[in-house]
């Protein structure tokens, strides 16, 4: 039996997990998912990363965007736009039901983790999906133009502002889920998914005891670079790394994970960096095709990552 | 110039107002609308009576039901139902946009009255629509099976419980809108629309200074019976009147308004009660066709009510 715990952001993480549950029995996989990008929108609680993981694994995701639902319509959003309401955040009619469901049960006093479990079960998923915390945690982006919520910065303002720093509002008091700590301690392999290191992974690791648990857990920690050939596959990772003064490269990412990871997986396109990364960071480096263009690529990456951690499957 | 102030509930009031703005310039009409039926649903703020008034006057209402929007779909609600979410309150995709709009602006700190004004303007309406209060006011229905919010009692539990009493949560501190007080004081005629006396009109009159203002205002007060031939045209008025020990008849309604109204308008079907009502309550009684089956009937009723108040138009 190989038990895997995966620190996960949005699209990249969801695709990696989709491969992993084709290689391992889903019940042996636990995803610990970023909630720093969660937002309140018109009274509703939206958890973009959790939804992307669920939609992707349930094969309901919109393949064009990597997020949202396939066959989506926008009756409500178009009408909201006509009314002069907030229409900058794309929410389809079917997607909206997820947010209403979540908001309803939160309002009734249920924790986000329970609601996430119910949504995952309803989608027919057997892996465990845990929010990084049930408490309020919000990534705030400090830019030249002021401090914004992540979605404000990324969607509404189209990531046009220069980022100076990030802040995780609520992180001082947010509690990790005991189940997440246990999953990390019992894991045979811990994977840091190819997600944004600052916006997706750091908010998870910043929840108290989480970073220490990952470091002290007996399992090898494998981090997958979200940067390929100096570019982010998706999202604002490259911009943010550059803004914050980091090298926008697999090397730059490897430096961020030097203390926490054992093995670093980078794409074949960056194979030339392997020696330099090993020498500078002391990480063991594995070169794999990391672009998850289809199910075969996802499965191959998952298999490669498990092998890199010494768990051939 | 004839200025009218109308105390309004849902469907019956909306239809009356729709007639009134065909007879008077809309800018001379102020509707003071019940918010006791407002509800929070999955994090959204819903104002059923305000929406019914706006949808009806904007000719967007679903003519079959008298509430909701014409040409409505239920993509979101059907999906929410599949997820096992709360699907007992019918909310169409277009209607949902109204609730998102309202919830968003409330969340941003705007009062309900401002949002209502914006929604009315956006719908092209020139009359003034005011909530009975900007503060939280909720009608709670005490029944044999426990205390429920109005929508819980009426929609979810299908008005099947015997009502013992009503309570207006928040009424001790809820403030009337100065504009509403002014509209009542400046009105040439005050109309109590054919709405549920207990569930629609009483929550408005219970807001502090509201009842006193209606009584002391110089304008004649005309109340229209929502009961025709011992039955409510729509909604639970008859059941609730019976449960609370009142006569389910125009006479029963007239007794409720004896202190506050000058003139009582009842339907031709109840013409035989006119003498008894005048004798017992001291109200002046006018007999009119009150069933607003079409635009002509609405206009005729509005005209008749204004005439009853001494304002031929």
Taking the C-alpha atoms of residue B306 and residue B288, their distance in angstroms, rounded to an integer, is: 12
Q: What angle do CA A190, A194, A196 make, to 5 degrees?
A: 115
> Which of B40, B44, B75 lies closest to A93 in CB terms?
B75
What is the pLDDT, as a whole number, of residue B311?
Answer: 80
The C-alpha atoms of residue A76 and residue B100 are separated, in whole angstroms, by: 9
| DSSP assignment of B8-50 | E-SHHHHHHHHHHHHHS-GGGEEEEE--TT-EEETTEEE-HHH
For position B214, what pLDDT does the model report?
98
Query: How many Cα atoms within 13 Å fall on the side-chain side of residue A292?
Result: 28
d(CA A149, CA A152): 5
Distance from CA of B105 to the nearest CA of A (A): 7
Q: Which of B12, B217, B59 is nearest to B31 (CA)?
A: B12
Q: Predicted confidence band at A155 (pLDDT cuts at 50, 70, 90)?
A: confident
Chain A residues whose C-beta is within 8 A of a chain B C-beta are: 40-45, 73, 75-77, 79-80, 82-86, 93-94, 96-98, 100-101, 103-104, 106-107, 118-119, 122
pTM for this entry: 0.91
- The domains of chain A, with CATH numbers, are 8-137+169-308 (3.40.50.10680)
Closest Cα in chain A to B124: A83
Please tell me which of the candidates B43, B82, B100 has its beta carbon nearest to residue A107.
B43
**Interface A:B, Cβ pairs < 8 A:** 103
Helix (H, G, I), strand (E, B) or coil at B108: coil
Nearest chain A residue to B101, by CA: A85
Which residues of chain B are within 8 Å of residue A97 when distances are taken between CB atoms? Answer: 76-77, 79-80, 82-83, 85
From B147's Cα to the closest Cα of chain A, the distance in A is 17
pLDDT of residue A233: 84
In total, chain B counts a number of residues equal to 313
- Give the pLDDT band (50/70/90) at residue B313: low
Question: What's the pLDDT at A10?
Answer: 93
B112 contacts in chain A (CB < 8 Å)? none
Q: Are B217 and B4 in contact (CB under 8 A)?
A: no
Per mean pLDDT, which range of A206-210, B84-88, B101-105, B223-227 is the poorest? Answer: B84-88
CA dihedral B104, B47, B166, B135 (to 10 degrees): 50
Q: How close A103 gets to chain B, by Cα (Å)? A: 5
- The nearest alpha carbon in chain B to A69 belongs to B79
- Cβ distance of B93 and A75 shorter than 8 Å: yes
How long, in residues, is chain A?
A: 313
Residue B207 DSSP class: S
Residue B200 has pLDDT above 80, yes or no: yes
More confident residue, B234 or B190: B190
- How would residue A88 be classed by pLDDT, with cut points 50, 70 and 90? confident
**Residue B155, min C-alpha distance to chain A (Å):** 17
Identify whether the C-beta of residue B179 lies closer than 8 Å to the C-beta of residue B31: no
DSSP E strand boundaries for chain B: 4-8, 29-33, 39-41, 44-46, 128-131, 138-143, 146-149, 163-169, 189-192, 221-224, 227-228, 231-232, 263-267, 284-288
- Longest C-alpha distance within chain B, in Å? 59
Task: Report the distance separating Cα B1 and Cα B140, nearest Å.
Answer: 40
Report the C-alpha gap between B299 and B305 in whole angstroms: 10
Cα dihedral: A231, A236, A242, A243 (round 10): 170
Q: What's residue A235's pLDDT?
A: 82
Q: How far is CA A96 from CA A89, A283, B93, in A?
A: 11, 43, 10
Residues of A in contact with B42 (CB under 8 A): 44, 100-101, 103-104, 107
Whether residue B298 has pLDDT greater than 90: yes
Predicted local confidence at residue A312, as pLDDT: 67
The nearest CA of chain A is from the CA of B156 a distance in Å of 15
Name the interface residues of B facing A (CB cutoff 8 Å). 40-45, 73, 75-77, 79-80, 82-86, 93-94, 96-98, 100-101, 103-107, 118-119, 122
Secondary element (H or E) of residue A151: helix A150-151
């Amino acid at each position: 039996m190989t038990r895997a715990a995966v620190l996960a952001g949005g699209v990249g993480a969801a695709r990696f997990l989709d491969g992993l549950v084709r290689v391992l029995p889903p019940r042996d996989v636990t995803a610990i998912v970023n909630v720093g990008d969660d937002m309140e929108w018109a009274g509703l609680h939206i958890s973009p990363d959790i939804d992307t993981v669920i939609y992707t694994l349930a094969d309901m995701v919109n393949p064009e965007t990597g997020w949202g639902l396939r066959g989506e319509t926008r009756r409500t959003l178009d009408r909201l736009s006509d009314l002069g309401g907030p229409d900058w955040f794309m929410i389809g009619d079917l997607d909206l039901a997820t947010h209403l469901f979540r908001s309803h049960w939160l309002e009734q006093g249920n924790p986000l983790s329970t609601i996430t479990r119910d949504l995952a079960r309803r989608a027919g998923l057997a892996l465990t999906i845990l929010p990084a915390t049930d408490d309020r945690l919000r990534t705030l982006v400090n830019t030249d133009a002021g401090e914004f919520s992540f979605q404000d910065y990324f969607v509404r303002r189209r990531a046009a502002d220069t980022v100076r720093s990030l802040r995780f509002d609520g992180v001082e008091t947010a509690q990790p889920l005991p189940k997440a700590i246990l999953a990390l301690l019992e894991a045979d392999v811990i994977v840091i998914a190819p997600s944004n290191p600052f916006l997706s992974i750091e908010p998870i690791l910043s929840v108290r005891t989480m970073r220490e648990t990952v470091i002290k857990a007996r399992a090898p920690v494998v981090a997958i670079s979200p940067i390929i050939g100096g570019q982010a596959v998706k999202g604002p990772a490259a911009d943010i790394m550059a803004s914050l003064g980091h090298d926008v490269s697999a090397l730059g990412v490897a430096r961020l994970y030097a203390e926490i990871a054992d093995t670093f997986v980078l794409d074949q396109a960056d194979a030339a960096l392997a020696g330099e990364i090993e020498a500078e960071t002391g990480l063991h480096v594995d070169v794999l095709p990391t672009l998850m263009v289809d199910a075969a690529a996802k499965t191959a990456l998952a298999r490669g990552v498990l092998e890199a951690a010494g768990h051939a499957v």
